[in-house]
Structure 1
Amino acid sequence: MTTPLTLDASARPAPAFLTEGPAKKLLIDGAWTAPVAARTFQTFDPTTGQALASVASAGPEDVDLAVAAARRAFEAPSWADITPYQRSRVLLQIADVIEAHAEELAVLDSLDMGGPLWMTRWLVHHSVEVFRHYAGWPTKIYGQTAPSDPTVFSYTLRQPLGVVAAITAWNGPVLQLAWKLGPALATGNTVVAKPAAWSPLSALRIGELLQTTDLPPGVVNIVTGDGVTTGEALTQHGDVDKISFTGSLAVGKRILEVSSRDLKRVTLELGGKSPTIVFADADLEAAARGAVAGFAQGSGEGCVAGSRIFVQESVREQFRELLVQEMKAYTLGDPFHPETRMGPLVSPEHFKRVSSYLDVAREEGGTLETSGERGHGLYMPPTLIENVGSEARVVREEIFGPVASLMTFTDADDAIAQGNDTIYGLSASVWTTNLEHAHRTADGLRAGTVWVNAYADMSAGTVPFGGFKQSGLGREHGIEVLDAYTETKTVMVHL
């Protein structure tokens, strides 16, 4: 049994943000505001189980105030009438202030959701790149002129939608907020952001940092709370023009249902059951590193987790041995221990859910290979499930933990067919040194992103990200993101 690495309490960081004030408030119209009903909730450190902070729980009345503030800001000259160059300048200021406080934000995320510090540092620095990418867009959002009769001048305008509800998940707090704020602000919208209740702290700290920039009050508002009360009030609000949501399939379906009542624009980045496909001609050692990273990195709490591993039959045993060896390198421990590769799962509820799938796997006839044992707090070692078929629940359902199934395939057609045998289609990873295998498999897989000889190579904005099938609707990043946050208006002037 492997005991997770620990640190003395005195060696763990304690950001001043956690001790400022009796409870974290809501950011509404540029002011930190207590909730109308005075409700709060606790956010906990999954490593120690100790409460980190008391946080405001926004009710419908608070959401009303936040949306109204965003609407006023959207129509105010201080935002609606600024030049594209000024908007770019504000986005660059946001990037700079986040970069200046990158370590603090990474620490808050590691404390709040258990991600190792090396990972949360990368996510925050990637977020800085995201804001700098979107800072380039305001001066490049063009309309078009259209051929017409000489007596008519026809052209189009790209105009912002209005108020955007930005709802993020708990597994990448800073990065997901950046992915939504960047394009929304670049295109001239205003935002009401709701971070996940399990990891709200970095969003609130970013709210404070935004106040040090030239961003006008009310352009970004932050409401905290659970999905049932706060999230539902925000998604049902009649004055919200668009919802950008990252989270579970079940909640995404609920948002789509609610949004249909008044035809809100919707972007949904939902779950996945991503295949990792390893051909016999691949660099098997590199493929094993990538495959294990695909389901173990970040404790498997990622929408792009490569939780279905398919290896060509002729190299199955060799590749399995490499997988097992690589799994041993994922040291469990305190997120702030320098040797930690994997931190704890985010909460007791989630740990129980992930653990239940291991019991299901055994009931379905599966055998488990792990690099450790459950039983130390909320730590879950990398776990490989074998001897299960395509209809097993552990193969079909998103587990969202460091658990993957190992299966085989015969040829490229078989790999594509098995890879596509899922309701999801967010991402896939293909490992091969054969160009025909690479291109044919990438073309045949129904996934929004296919990595070849890589895993989770995430763009800061240049290429689109999103899913096929039930992995979501729409795209974040790329040129496509402009369509997600703007409307096209046609103007026909008779001369």
Structure 2
Amino acid sequence: MAGESNGNVETSMMKMIPRIKFTKLFINGEFIDSTSGKTFETIDPRTEEVIANVSEGDKDDVDLAVTAARHAFDHGPWPRLPGCERRRIMLKFADLMDENVEELAALDTIDAANLYSLGKGMFIHGAAELIRYYAGAADKIHGETLKMSRDLHGYTLVEPIGVVGHIIPWNFPTQMFVMKVGPALAAGCTMVVKPAEQTPLSALYYAYLAKLAGVPDGVINVVTGYGPTVGASISSHMDIDMVSFTGSTETGHRIMQAAATSNLKGQICVAGTRTFVQEGIYDKFVARLLEELKTWVVGDPFDSNVNQGPQVDKKQYEKVLSYIEHGKREGATLLSGGKPLDTKGKGYYIEPTIFTDVTDDMIIAKDEIFGPVMSLMKFKSVEEVIKRANGTKYGLAAGIMTNDLNIANTVSRSLRAGAVWINCYFGFDNDLPIGGYKRSGFGKDMGMDALHKYLQHKSIAIPIYNSPWL
């Protein structure tokens, strides 16, 4: 159902839309035009109108950003600062995020269609807390002293890995930015960040806040632009020591191919579209789902009564609609939704869509959709659902709803997924690593695991006296 808005609500929402301050590339501590002078439009998915023209980076701009990051790592203060000083600057960065919460939340609403109420009330503050989490680890990075079997004194040093490339997706721009940048900053790395071309605005604002907090020039560089140019240049650049990527599996494959020509880099991707329901409760579940759907409000994400906003851009909007048509053609039963929401021709809104009678070989059950499409799939036994749930090329996360502890333990240990949430969903926490199995990538975000991937260990041995073995 579409949310109805009166004039007062519309006026209030207009006040929430910020003036766009930063649209240029952020390189070596300065906002600059792209070398080509080109720009691209970033579109408000609520209205299909242009929000701003953003500098379009390319290979030359990536080279400039990498040069700045390389110099900042090899010669600048950030990797050499005492951990307590990096902590102090990062805590200031987090405070500035909290102080600018309304503007940051509004940027992610007009750019990514994130719900404003969640952004202001939870997402931005949560992102600031994640920066504080890694700030607390910045002065606790240390190696080990080893008791050696030979006449040697041994110890390890833990050092930042170097220049990092971050390629982040469009779905949660703030969270993805801090999940990548936070641990890399704490480790002492420098970086080049490519936000998604659909959602570049908040990343540029965060770069500004980081400088304001005291992060030295060249440590954080943001190059806006497209995947085949900026993303590909980051992936294959010989002066970038590591790439952290979150996005589609197809893009991940291209990044790995590019990385194979230079140096090895990692990726994590996201997938999730299937709901398995045991046959004994299937009909009751469907009835309850339809009742809940009656209260579901689709509309402007600035409206606090809205549950679901538009798709991020026209391309994603058309992609989701094409998957819905695939589901119909393949024989799935359309239970609800299935078409664009009537918004008088403005905005990328799609009705919440539910399919039943979905089989494992249907495209809507196999592919990533990233839209309001649910595939309901009936099963009989625990053994069956484990087998079917594992019958996918993806493996980022899964959720289990059960009152039986034995089933919870059995299924959670049997699923080939990097995270399993029991009687909850989206169980993210700063301490809990998140990362996938199979084609959902390797490496972890969040937790101390994320910090460790930006560090490398050096082993050192010293003879303690003249040994016959040396």
Fold-level similarity (TM above 0.5): yes
Partner in structure 1 of residue 440 of structure 2: 471
The SS at the match of 2:447 is coil
Matched, 1:452 2:452: no
CA distance in 2, matches of 1:494, 1:158: 21
CA distance in 1, matches of 2:103, 2:330: 45
**Residues 321 and 15 of structure 1: CA distance in aligned 2, closer, same or farther (over 3 Å):** closer
CA distance in 1, matches of 2:315, 2:15: 25
Partner in structure 2 of residue 62 of structure 1: 61
The SS at the match of 1:139 is coil
Amino acid at match of 1:48: T
CA distance in 2, matches of 1:391, 1:15: 45
Partner in structure 2 of residue 168 of structure 1: 168
What is the correspondence of 1:76-155 to structure 2 with a 5 Å cutoff? 76-121=75-120, 122-148=122-148, 151-155=151-155
Partner in structure 2 of residue 29 of structure 1: 28
CA distance in 2, matches of 1:149, 1:349: 61
Note the C-alpha offset of 1:128. 0.9
CA distance in 1, matches of 2:314, 2:229: 21
CA distance in 1, matches of 2:229, 2:4: 38
Matched, 1:312 2:278: yes
Note the C-alpha offset of 1:391. 0.6
Matching residue within 301, 308, 325 for 1:335:
301
Over aligned residue pairs, what C-alpha RMSD do you find? 1.7
CA deviations 1:460-495 (Å, max 9, x no partner) are 2x1210001111111112232233111111011123
Note the C-alpha offset of 1:94. 1.1
Matched, 1:245 2:215: no
Matched, 1:420 2:390: yes
The SS at the match of 1:258 is helix
CA distance in 1, matches of 2:254, 2:419: 25
CA deviations 1:382-418 (Å, max 9, x no partner) are 2111112111111111111111111111121112111
Does the 8 A contact of 1:466 with 1:475 survive in 2? yes
Partner in structure 1 of residue 462 of structure 2: 493
Does the 8 A contact of 1:102 with 1:125 survive in 2? yes
CA distance in 1, matches of 2:419, 2:83: 31
Partner in structure 2 of residue 323 of structure 1: 289
Amino acid at match of 1:453: N
Note the C-alpha offset of 1:83. 0.3
Amino acid at match of 1:480: D
The SS at the match of 1:210 is helix
CA deviations 1:116-147 (Å, max 9, x no partner) are 21232322121011101101112222211222
**Residues 149 and 440 of structure 1: CA distance in aligned 2, closer, same or farther (over 3 Å):** closer
Note the C-alpha offset of 1:338. 2.1
CA deviations 1:426-482 (Å, max 9, x no partner) are 11110111100111111111111111110101112x121000111111111223223
CA distance in 2, matches of 1:414, 1:60: 49
The SS at the match of 2:155 is strand
CA distance in 2, matches of 1:80, 1:363: 56
Matching residue within 330, 333, 347 for 1:367:
333
- Once the two structures are overlaid, the 10-residue window that deviates more, 485-494 or 369-378, is 369-378
Does the 8 A contact of 1:270 with 1:471 survive in 2? yes
Matched, 1:12 2:5: no
Does the 8 A contact of 1:17 with 1:205 survive in 2? no
CA distance in 2, matches of 1:359, 1:251: 24
The SS at the match of 1:132 is helix
Partner in structure 2 of residue 480 of structure 1: 449
What is the correspondence of 1:380-391 to structure 2 with a 5 Å cutoff? 380-391=350-361
Partner in structure 2 of residue 406 of structure 1: 376
Does the 8 A contact of 1:345 with 1:379 survive in 2? yes
CA distance in 2, matches of 1:75, 1:332: 50
Amino acid at match of 2:199: S
CA distance in 1, matches of 2:396, 2:83: 33
CA distance in 1, matches of 2:337, 2:188: 49
**Residues 96 and 438 of structure 1: CA distance in aligned 2, closer, same or farther (over 3 Å):** same
CA deviations 1:82-116 (Å, max 9, x no partner) are 10110111111111111111111011000001122
Partner in structure 2 of residue 349 of structure 1: 315
CA distance in 1, matches of 2:243, 2:14: 35
CA distance in 1, matches of 2:148, 2:114: 57
Partner in structure 2 of residue 394 of structure 1: 364
Amino acid at match of 1:408: K
Amino acid at match of 2:443: G
Aligned residue pairs: how many? 457
Does the 8 A contact of 2:166 with 2:180 survive in 1? yes
CA distance in 2, matches of 1:142, 1:378: 49
TM-score, normalised to structure 1, is 0.89
CA deviations 1:255-293 (Å, max 9, x no partner) are 111112232332x121313xxxxxxxxxxxxxxxxxxxx
Partner in structure 1 of residue 467 of structure 2: none
Amino acid at match of 1:463: L
CA distance in 1, matches of 2:358, 2:256: 33
The SS at the match of 2:327 is helix
CA distance in 2, matches of 1:323, 1:431: 15
Does the 8 A contact of 1:164 with 1:241 survive in 2? yes
CA distance in 1, matches of 2:5, 2:309: 11
CA deviations 1:347-366 (Å, max 9, x no partner) are 11111110111111111111
- Once the two structures are overlaid, the 10-residue window that deviates more, 119-128 or 211-220, is 119-128
The SS at the match of 1:480 is helix
CA distance in 2, matches of 1:448, 1:435: 20
Paired-residue identity, %: 36
Matched, 1:157 2:157: yes
- Once the two structures are overlaid, the 10-residue window that deviates more, 314-323 or 9-18, is 9-18
Does the 8 A contact of 2:236 with 2:262 survive in 1? no
Does the 8 A contact of 1:47 with 1:378 survive in 2? yes
Amino acid at match of 1:215: V
Does the 8 A contact of 1:331 with 1:341 survive in 2? yes
CA distance in 1, matches of 2:2, 2:146: 68
What is the correspondence of 1:277-292 to structure 2 with a 5 Å cutoff? none
CA distance in 2, matches of 1:16, 1:361: 37
Amino acid at match of 1:312: Q
Does the 8 A contact of 2:238 with 2:263 survive in 1? no
The gaps in structure 1 that reach 5 residues or longer are: 274-306
Note the C-alpha offset of 1:373. 4.8
TM-score, normalised to structure 2, is 0.94
Note the C-alpha offset of 1:7. 6.5
**Residues 433 and 71 of structure 1: CA distance in aligned 2, closer, same or farther (over 3 Å):** same
